[in-house]
Amino acid sequence: MVQQEWLSEQFTEHQDRLRAVAYRMLGSSGEAEDAVQEAWLRVGRADTGQVENPAGWLTTIVARVCLNMLEARRARREESAGALPPEPAAPQPGVRPAVHDRPEDEALLADSVGVALTVVLDTLAPAERLAFVLHDVFAVPFGEIGPIIDRSPVAARQLASRARRRVQGAAQASDAARSGKKEIVEAFLAASRSGDFTALLELLDPDAVVSEIRGAHEVAAFFAGRARGARLALVDGVPAAVWTRRGRPMALFSFTVADGKITRIVIDGDPDRLRDLDIVYLRTSGEPLR
């Protein structure tokens, strides 16, 4: 009874971290919740007599559950079930192992991992993903990661380094794409505010669509002079526009861009969805930050 109470207390204390680990590993809040529940069932059957670090022990259990779920997901996709990348060769003499890469690279990675990881999540093998997420996001030592994936600490380090390079590449590509989209959305808002019909046409694809309106001329006519209350913003990390009233978001304008042209604009005024968005307003040319 005492052991069960202790387990329950420890699990409750670390539950938020465990859920965060599972979410980063699986990329789905629903699957993350399933993983945490499965971990709790395993905890209840475990021998806790030798547990000295409850947080690390619980993290290991959740990580193993997630690893199994990732491998099952790959199997369902008719890829080789349970296949893990080959164990990387040990570093050659004179070659510095990529334990942390450069500190500035990891600081940059910490800022971009939320967006970049979603881009490459399904391209990483389960062992790569686990090693990268546990070490780079949650600072779990490679000595603890290795046994989870049946690899040596050196091999776990190399898997994380391999995944890190792919995430960094995706982050750079994502940053470039967001930068280009931000400029297009900003130009669209400026043209709309000023009623510059010609500038709007230059930004719109000939077959652009907004709601039931189709065609660049029709969309340009709809928006000309109408965006005075809209502000440039990053919405869940993606450039967009938000129409505000007294500082409160009232409508979201999401833009689809292809080949430098706006092909679709979706307007969402649902207050429940707006309330759940992560909105960061950006300053535009000549506009004070409010």
Which of these, 209, 221, 225, lies nearest to 263 by C-alpha position? Answer: 209
Q: What is the pLDDT of residues 30-82, one digit of tens each?
A: 889 999 999 998 887 776 667 778 888 899 999 999 999 988 887 776 443 33
- In 77-152, which residue ranges form alpha helices assigned H by DSSP? 103-120, 126-132, 142-148
Q: What is the pLDDT of residues 71-126, one digit of tens each?
A: 888 777 644 333 444 444 443 443 333 333 444 444 444 444 454 555 566 678 89
Region of residue 82 (left: phi > 0; alpha: psi -120 to 50; beta: else): left
> Do 44 and 7 meet the contact criterion of CB atoms below 8 Å apart?
yes
- In angstroms, rounded to a whole number, what is the distance separating the alpha carbons of residues 84 and 81? 9
Residue 281, φ and ψ in degrees, nearest 5: -75, 140
Q: Which SS3 state, helix, strand or coil, does residue 256 take?
A: strand
Q: At which residue do the structure tokens 């960061």 appear?
A: 280
Domains in the chain, start-ordered, CATH in brackets?
2-82+98-175 (1.20.140), 177-281 (3.10.450.50)
Which residues, at least 6 apart from 165, have a Cβ–Cβ distance to it below 8 Å?
none
Assessment of whether the complete model's pTM goes beyond 0.75? no
